[in-house]
Each structure stands twice: as C-alpha cells, then as structure tokens.
Amino acid sequence: MRVLKICKITIILIFAAACSFAAPAGAPPVVDLENAAKKTIVIDAAHGGADWGVAASGLYEKDITLKLAKKIKEKILETKNEDIKVLLTREEDKTMPTADRVGLANAAKAQVFISIHCDYDRRETVTGYKIYYYGGKKQSVAPETETMPEWGNVQKKYPEQNLKFAKMIEKFMKAKLLTEKGIDKGDEKIDEVRLKDRGMAEANPLSVNGVDMPAVVFETGNLNTKIDSALLRDDGVLNSVATHIKEALLNYVLSN
Ligand SMILES: [Zn+2]
C-alpha cells in the first residue's frame, strides 16, 4: 500500500515535470545555428535600373556603385573569414525601392550597412569622396519611409556607432595599405587611394533612413568633374577604394 502511494506520488511528479517542460503553444523558435555566429555586412549599390542616379561625363552612378559594391564583396570573401557574411542589396542593374533595400538589411539583422553612391557638384574644383552619417542632430522622416513607418526614426538609436563606423572608413581610406600583390611578393608595395578626402559630415541621409543598424553613405566622388570621372573610370582606382573599404568594414564588425 505504502509502495503504491509512493508510486502514485512519483507518477504525479513526473507528469507535473513533463507538463512544465512542454513547449508553449505555437511554432517552436527556429535557431539558425549555421548563421548564428556570423556577422552580416550589407553593401548597398545605390540606384539601378530606371534610376540612373548621377549621369555625367559619360558615366552613370548606378554602374559605378554596383561595380564598387561587387569588388568590396569579392575582397571580403577572399579573406575566407567564416564569421562574416556579405549581402549586396542588388547584384544586377535593376530598379529597387529604398524600402526593399532597407527591408533586406533589417530582415538579415545585419551588423553594419554602407550605401555606396557618387555625387555631383556644380563646382568643377570640388572633388573626392565624402562620408555622410546620421549623428543625432538632424532627424526627419524621409519620403521613402512613409512606406515603412515602423522604421522611420530607427537611426536615432545609432548616432555614436554611426560616427565610429564613419571614422573607421575615413581612417582606412586615408591609410596606406600593403596590396595583396605586395604581400605575395614580400615587397613594400603600398596601395593608396588617389581620390581626394573631403571628410565626414553629419546629415540625415535618405539612403540609410530606416536602417536598423549602424550605417553610412559613402559618396565615392563627383562624377561631373574631370578629375573624379577619370579616376572612377579606372578599374585600378575602384580596386584600391574597395580594398580600403573592405579593411574598414572588417575592422568595424570584428571589433564590435
Ligand atoms: Zn546616389
């Protein structure tokens, strides 16, 4: 009898324990173990398709941004760092709304977002690259974010990280790097960016409005000017810019 009573209690306890460990109603959470440890970098090749961006000096902004974005991705993949995942917002010449680019990055829960552009300046003498970021001073909802109101002011979370990320890009764009070839040969071949540095500026860039992660806009050069259009036509210059941005991206994500 006593044995039976103990058995009954044991069965009740086992049943209670089983109930407390039962999965809650609804689908169980899916954990993507393969990508859980990865840090995702999103490179936005701005414009595309019917949206040319700046068209000057026989060049289209949409072509330069795609070329450069692909080069940066390729160079990151060449490092074979398994902790890094790279996504481009577009891999071909197609029209793509800002909301789709932002949605892609936010859905991927990426660590960092860089939107690649080229600029235009009526002053022929203003040349070089410039980095824009949201630093907390200005914030307004861009027209594009009307279609994604839930992300409207989300950049407000990242002024410090944006500044840190912008500084990292500027640091590496100005740095002298050993080229891959230089390392192979064991010589001291230094890779320098030939585009002029126009520095960083705090702004409220539309291309990153709604991006739920640290983000910057990188203006590669002024396509209407003789100097920048000649440089950006040169594949060697694009390779060099891509190498420096790759270094900045890897250093930023791996130190955060
Ligand atoms: Zn643009």
Task: Compute, in angstroms, the gap from residue 158 CA to the centroid of ligand 1.
Answer: 22
Give domain status of residue 219, yes or no: yes
Task: Compute, in angstroms, the gap from residue 118 CA to the centroid of ligand 1.
Answer: 6
Task: Compute, in angstroms, the gap from residue 222 CA to the centroid of ligand 1.
Answer: 11
Look up the CATH number of the domain holding residue 45. 3.40.630.40
Task: Compute, in angstroms, the gap from residue 89 CA to the centroid of ligand 1.
Answer: 14
Give domain status of residue 167, yes or no: yes
Task: Compute, in angstroms, the gap from residue 169 CA to the centroid of ligand 1.
Answer: 18
Give domain status of residue 212, yes or no: yes
- Total number of domains constituting the chain: 1
Query: What pLDDT is attached to residue 33?
Result: 54
Nearest to 134 by CA among 117, 107, 156: 156
Q: Which residues in 42-51 are b (16+ Cβ under 10 Å) and which e? A: bbbbbbbeee
- Which pLDDT tens digit goes with each residue over 233-253? 999 999 999 999 999 999 999
Task: Compute, in angstroms, the gap from residue 144 CA to the centroid of ligand 1.
Answer: 14
Confidence of residue 28 (pLDDT cuts 50, 70, 90): low
Between 141 and 31, name the one with better pLDDT.
31
Give domain status of residue 201, yes or no: yes
Between 106 and 182, name the one with better pLDDT.
106
Taking the C-alpha atoms of residue 151 and residue 251, their distance in angstroms, rounded to an integer, is 27
Contact 167, 200 (CB under 8 A): yes
Residue 195 has pLDDT above 90, yes or no: yes
Query: What pLDDT is attached to residue 253?
Result: 96
**Average pLDDT, stretch 177-205?**
83
Task: Compute, in angstroms, the gap from residue 88 CA to the centroid of ligand 1.
Answer: 16
Contact 254, 152 (CB under 8 A): no
Give domain status of residue 6, yes or no: no
Domain extent at residue 205: 35-254
Give domain status of residue 224, yes or no: yes
Question: Which of 8-22, 38-52, 146-160 is predicted most confidently?
Answer: 38-52
Task: Compute, in angstroms, the gap from residue 39 CA to the centroid of ligand 1.
Answer: 26
Give domain status of residue 18, yes or no: no
Task: Compute, in angstroms, the gap from residue 105 CA to the centroid of ligand 1.
Answer: 18
Between 19 and 231, name the one with better pLDDT.
231
Give domain status of residue 17, yes or no: no
Taking the C-alpha atoms of residue 249 and residue 256, their distance in angstroms, rounded to an integer, is 11
Task: Compute, in angstroms, the gap from residue 227 CA to the centroid of ligand 1.
Answer: 19
At 238, which amino acid appears? L
Residue 43 has pLDDT above 70, yes or no: yes
Task: Compute, in angstroms, the gap from residue 224 CA to the centroid of ligand 1.
Answer: 13
Beta bridge partners of 129: 197
pTM of this structure: 0.81
Task: Compute, in angstroms, the gap from residue 62 CA to the centroid of ligand 1.
Answer: 8
**Average pLDDT, stretch 31-42?**
72
**Average pLDDT, stretch 188-202?**
90
Beta bridge partners of 131: 200, 218
Task: Compute, in angstroms, the gap from residue 131 CA to the centroid of ligand 1.
Answer: 12
Task: Compute, in angstroms, the gap from residue 30 CA to the centroid of ligand 1.
Answer: 37
Task: Compute, in angstroms, the gap from residue 194 CA to the centroid of ligand 1.
Answer: 21
